[in-house]
Amino acid sequence: MRGDYRLTSFASGCGDSILIEAHDKVVMIDIHYRSGRAQDEDDDEAPDFASDIRAACGNDHLDVFVSTHPDKDHVGGFSKLFHCGSPDNWDSDPEDSDPKIIVDEIWCTPYGLNPHYVTDQSKPITDEIKRRNALQGTFAGERDGNRIKVMDTSRFSTGAIVTDFEWRLLAPTPAEWDIPKTAEGWPPASSNPTSLVIQWTIRRFGGENLILTCGDTSVEVLERLEKDAHRKNPDHLAWHILLAPHHCSRRSIGRVLNGGCKDEEFTDSAEALKAIGEQRGNGYVVSSSRRVVRGGDTPPSWHAKRRYLRILANGGEITGAVEGRFRCTGGNGTADLPAHVVFNLTSGGPTLAPAKVPATVGLGGGGAAVGGGGSYG
C-alpha cells in the first residue's frame, strides 16, 4: 500500500512488470499482464498480480507508468488494468469488475509515440499515448490522467518524482530511438535499442537504494553508455538492484556470430559488461523470465546469467550465496514455480523479502513469442 518502500518484479513470464513504491508515490515500469510460465500458449494459468498493483496504488491512481518500449512483453494487458481515455470517462463503480486504475502520467520515448508497427497488445497504450500527446500545451494536458513525458536524453537528464525519489535518464539518444523503418512486407526492426534506460535513487534516512532498469536495451546502447557515461562518472550507472536487460538475454551483453548455424559463436562485449557492472555492495540481479537453465530456449540465457554471476561475485568465487543474489521471477534452483521477487528499500539499501507465490487466473490468448520484432536470445 502507499507508504511502503518496496520494489516488486512480478512473475509475468518473459516480460517486465516492475513496481516501485516509495515516499507515498507509486511508479510502474512496463506491464506484461498475461503469461506466468514462459511462453507456453497451452498454459493459461497466469499469475494474477492486479490486486497487488491496486493495493500499492491505494486510491485508484498510479503516479507514473514508464513504457520503456512498445514490444508486447512490455505493454501487454495495459488496458486490462489501467483506464484508457479521458479521466472524465472513468467508471468508479463498474458492474462486473474492479475500477480500472487511472495513470496520472505516462513516460515514453519519441519512438513509443510513433512506433513503426502496432500490435493488438500495444494498440491500447499507443492510442493512449497519442491522445495525451495531443493535449500537450493545454490546461487539460496538465490534469491527472492526461499528463505525458516524451523522453530522450536531448530533452531530459535528471529529475525527481518527489524529494528523495530521483531518476536519471541514460538512454535513448535521438539516434538510438530514431530507428529505420523496414520495407513493406519485411519483418519490423526491433524496437529494443529505443528502450528507456533509467537509474532510480530512493533515499531513506540518508541511505540510498540504487536501481537500474534497462528495458530490452541493446549491446550497442550499453557500449555507448560505457563511453559516454561510465568513463566520466561510474556512479551514474551504479546499482544495488539491476533488472537484467532483455530478460537476461546474451544479445544485450555481446554478439552472436553465425546465428542459427552449427558453428554459432558468441563474443562478450567488455564495454557493455562494464556499463552494467557498477554493483554497489552485495547487489542483486533480477531476471524477469522463466527459470534459467543450461541449453534452454533464450532468453533467458545461461551464458548471460554466468556473466551476471561474475559481476555479483566482484572478482571472487561464485558461491551459493552469490548465486542466491541472482533472482528469477520464473523460478530459482530446480523449481519452475513463478514467484514475485520483492525487495524492501531500507536506509541500509535493499533487502530481499520472502518470495511471494501469486494466485493464478486464466486469461486466455497469448502466443509463444516475446517481443515484437528483431532477434532474441
Write the DSSP assignment of 173-201 as a string of letters: -HHHH-PPPPPTTSPPPP-GGG--EEEEE
How does strand 341-346 pair with strand 6-9? antiparallel
CA distance 210 to 66: 17
Q: Is the pLDDT of residue 311 over 90?
A: yes
* pLDDT for res 360: 59
Question: Domain residues for 136?
Answer: 6-362
Per DSSP, helices labelled H in the chain are 50-57, 72-75, 78-81, 110-113, 123-134, 174-177, 219-225, 270-275, 302-313, 320-323
In a domain, 373, yes or no: no
193: left (phi over 0), alpha (psi -120 to 50) or beta: alpha
Q: For residue 193, is the peptide bond before it cis, meaning its omega torsion is within 30 degrees of 0?
A: no
**213 closest CA partner among 250, 246, 180:** 246
pLDDT confidence bin for 377, thresholds 50/70/90:
low
In a domain, 374, yes or no: no
* pLDDT for res 36: 40
Percent of the chain with pLDDT over 90: 76
Q: What is the mean pLDDT of residues 226-245?
A: 97
Q: Is the pLDDT of residue 146 over 50?
A: yes
pLDDT confidence bin for 363, thresholds 50/70/90:
very low
* pLDDT for res 261: 55
Residue with cell 458492474: 95
* pLDDT for res 3: 73
* pLDDT for res 365: 34
In a domain, 306, yes or no: yes
pLDDT confidence bin for 338, thresholds 50/70/90:
confident
Main-chain dihedrals φ then ψ at residue 251, nearest 5 degrees: -75, -5
In a domain, 344, yes or no: yes
In a domain, 368, yes or no: no
Question: Cβ distance 119 to 76 under 8 Å?
Answer: no
* pLDDT for res 105: 98
Q: What is the mean pLDDT of residues 285-291?
A: 94
pLDDT digits (tens, 9 = 90+) for 112-137: 999 999 999 999 999 999 999 999 99
Q: Is the pLDDT of residue 358 over 50?
A: yes
Q: Is the pLDDT of residue 296 over 90?
A: no
Q: Walk across the sheet containing 279-290 and list its strands.
A: 158-162, 165-171, 197-204, 207-213, 239-243, 279-290, 326-330
pLDDT digits (tens, 9 = 90+) for 27-67: 999 999 974 443 444 454 667 899 999 999 987 999 999 99
In a domain, 310, yes or no: yes
Q: Is the pLDDT of residue 361 over 80?
A: no
Q: What is the mean pLDDT of residues 347-375?
A: 60
Q: Is the pLDDT of residue 214 over 50?
A: yes
Work out how many domains the chain is built from and give that number.
1
CATH no. for residue 88? 3.60.15.10
Residue with cell 534459467: 292
Among the ranges 49-53, 93-97, 136-140, which has the highest mean pLDDT value? 136-140
CA distance 287 to 4: 23
Q: What is the mean pLDDT of residues 278-285?
A: 97
* pLDDT for res 259: 61
Alpha-carbon torsion, ordered 294, 298, 300, 301, to 10 deg: 50
* pLDDT for res 128: 98
Q: What is the mean pLDDT of residues 364-376?
A: 38
- Coil, strand or helix at 102: strand
In a domain, 171, yes or no: yes
Question: Cβ distance 271 to 231 under 8 Å?
Answer: no
* pLDDT for res 104: 98
DSSP class of residue 281? E
Q: Is the pLDDT of residue 368 over 50?
A: no
In a domain, 370, yes or no: no
Q: pTM here? A: 0.92
Q: What is the mean pLDDT of residues 97-122?
A: 95
* pLDDT for res 1: 63
